[in-house]
Amino acid sequence: MKEMMKKMALSGIATLFAEQMPFNQLLGIRVTHYDFERVELRIGMEGKLVGNPFHNILHGGVTASLLDVAGGMIVAASCLDELEDFSPSYLKERFSRLGTIDLRVDYLRPGRGTEFIATAHIIRSGSKVAVARMELHNEEGTHIAFGTGTYLVG
């Protein structure tokens, strides 16, 4: 029963991030995997997401945005895993307090590709603060960026 509640809540969070956050919709973020261990987000390359027009490269801010969202979602899943109350009102109150404290992005290679895949996992969990590490690859598996985010949980 509790497992089912948790899965429903997780599904609700995915919907919230992908369909109710305007900037995530502007970027075209889709949630292609989401459980308590790992999140995977995808966006397709589009002209409007380009930074450097001479080389048709993804804007570094899009990379940062995707990694921040992926980190936030895995932290949300990690919190969920420890909750006892899954009422919509409690969840909304709880997750509206979740926020990024700091984010580091290491840009490894130019953002070339037709699709970009962001993944995240938790490296430090806690009742007040959680830390996640994120990665961005393109559709060919080229590693484009690493990220690390510290999130306020409580």
Binding site for a second copy (CB under 8 A): 20-27, 47-55, 59-62, 64-66, 68-69, 92, 96, 99-110, 123-124, 126, 128-129, 131, 133, 146, 148, 150, 152, 154
| CB nearer a second copy, residue 7 or residue 101 | 101
Q: Count the alpha carbons within 13 Å of 26 in the hemisphere toward its beta carbon.
A: 7
| CB nearer a second copy, residue 7 or residue 147 | 147
Q: Is 43 helix (H, G, I), strand (E, B) or coil?
A: strand
User: Shortest distance, CB of residue 14 to a second copy, whole angstroms?
Assistant: 15
User: Which token pair is 47?
Assistant: 């002209």
Q: Which amino acid is at 153?
A: V
User: Shortest distance, CB of residue 51 to a second copy, whole angstroms?
Assistant: 6
| CB nearer a second copy, residue 43 or residue 77 | 43
| CB nearer a second copy, residue 7 or residue 48 | 48
Residues 10, 17 contacting (CB under 8 angstroms): no
Phi and psi torsions of 146, nearest 5°? -110, 150
Residues, the chain: 154
User: Shortest distance, CB of residue 83 to a second copy, whole angstroms?
Assistant: 18
As a whole number of angstroms, the distance between CA 94 and CA 79 comes to: 9
